[in-house]
Amino acid sequence: MESADIMIKFFEFSLPSEGDSYDCEEADILQVLLPMRDRFEPVETLCGDTMPKPIISNGPKMLLEFRGRQSGKGNRGFKAEYKFLENFGIISGEQIPNEECSFKFNSSVERSGWFHSPNFPGAYPRNIECNYLFYGDLYDRIFIRFTYFDVEGIFPCEESTASDYVEFSNFMSIDRKFRRFCGKRSGNQAASRKLEAPAGSKELFEPCVNAVKSFLAGEPFREFETSMYFHRYLQWKWLEAQPITYKTFRMYRVLGKGGFGEVCACQKKQSARTRPIPIPEHLLTSHSVSSMPSES
């Protein structure tokens, strides 16, 4: 199981230290070492009576080194459970095969639930990227509320500051990424995020639309520019931009009269289409009505 990680979970821990419980200088200690640059480097030193949080490796190797400097009846030592894991201690959702740390959550399986960082409440491993993918029904919206948030980093959580971060993205449509979150927040300060499920979004087809536009903007458009249809298109766009006035039409015989004026048969000059148009009485004195052309 070369790809497995090792998790250590403590059930009893008593390595008393003299003076400050956080000072392990002269105390019995349990040191955690992980492989870095072809050798084991210490990453955490444990002592005192406080129960340590779970520990997880960042690969298939871990070294625990116990050093007993003192002896006494009160020094009980420690008791811990070890596990070889491939799910980083994440037990919710469904782990996606052939991906290092990716989990999917489907509303058809469970409408609400919990998820957490690898090895929570212990420290998450180094050099890891985990993806949590949420799939909703057509009109679902996804709401995420953090009850605890402690991610090492300095806002705005960029690589230049070597910051870890949490980032949200509507992955199935255009990859819209929201701002990153890092630092420590607790209680009411924990971040919340409401996301629209991409399944019911109008943006679902935007990648297809953009691909079609990109294709049409190439060779098809260059062929269109050299054809007669492009010239006709420009003519119609010019006509479309012209203001509509009484000069736009030829007025022929009167079809009827009323209190407001007359209804005349009119012909649009550009298209030669004939239609009845009411003419208010105050305009009749300024424009003459010609005879209707005979059909040939």
> Each residue of 133-187: pLDDT tens digit?
998 888 888 888 888 999 998 888 888 888 999 988 876 555 667 778 898 876 5
Beta bridge partners of 80: 10
Could you tell me which residues are beta bridge partners of residue 83? 7
Q: Is the pLDDT of residue 82 over 70?
A: yes
Domain boundaries, the chain: 5-85, 94-205, 207-241, 246-284
Q: What's the chain's Rg over C-alpha atoms? A: 37
| Average pLDDT over all residues of the chain | 81
Banded pLDDT at 3 (limits 50, 70, 90): low
Number of C-alpha atoms within 13 angstroms, CB side, residue 145? Answer: 5
Residue 4: band (very low, low, confident or very high) from pLDDT cuts 50, 70, 90: confident
Matching fold, domains 5-85 and 94-205 = yes
Into which CATH architecture does domain 5-85 fall?
Sandwich (2.60)
Reported confidence tier of residue 2, pLDDT bands at 50, 70, 90: very low
Cross-strand pairs, 15: 48
Structure tokens at 69: 């400097």
- 273 has a pLDDT exceeding 90: no
The alpha carbon dihedral of 187, 188, 189, 193 has a sign of positive
Return contacts of 77-81, CB within 8 angstroms, 24+ apart.
77/12, 77/14, 77/15, 78/10, 78/12, 78/13, 78/14, 78/15, 78/30, 79/10, 79/11, 79/12, 79/13, 80/8, 80/9, 80/10, 80/11, 81/8, 81/9, 81/11
DSSP codes, 85-112: ESSTT--SSEEPTTSTTEEEEETTT-SS
CA distance 137 to 10: 41
pLDDT tens per residue, range 231-262: 888 888 887 787 877 777 787 878 888 777 78
- Check residue 294 and give its pLDDT: 46
Name residues whose C-beta falls within 8 Å of residue 22's C-beta, 6 or more positions apart in sequence. Answer: 48
Looking at residue 32, its pLDDT comes to 93
Res. 188: pLDDT tops 60 = no
**The pLDDT value given to residue 210:** 81
Can you give the pLDDT at residue 292?
45
The architecture CATH gives domain 94-205:
Sandwich (2.60)
- What's residue 31's pLDDT? 92
DSSP state of 247: G
Chain segment 190-230, per-residue pLDDT in tens: 555 555 544 445 566 777 888 888 888 888 888 888 888 88
* Cβ atoms of residues 205 and 199 within 8 Å: no
Stated pTM of the model: 0.57
Strand partners, 64: 32
When mean pLDDT is compared across 37-41, 55-59, 68-72, 262-266, the lowest value belongs to 68-72
Q: What pairing do the DSSP bridges indicate for beta strands 183-186 and 192-196? A: unpaired
Confidence of residue 12 (pLDDT cuts 50, 70, 90): very high
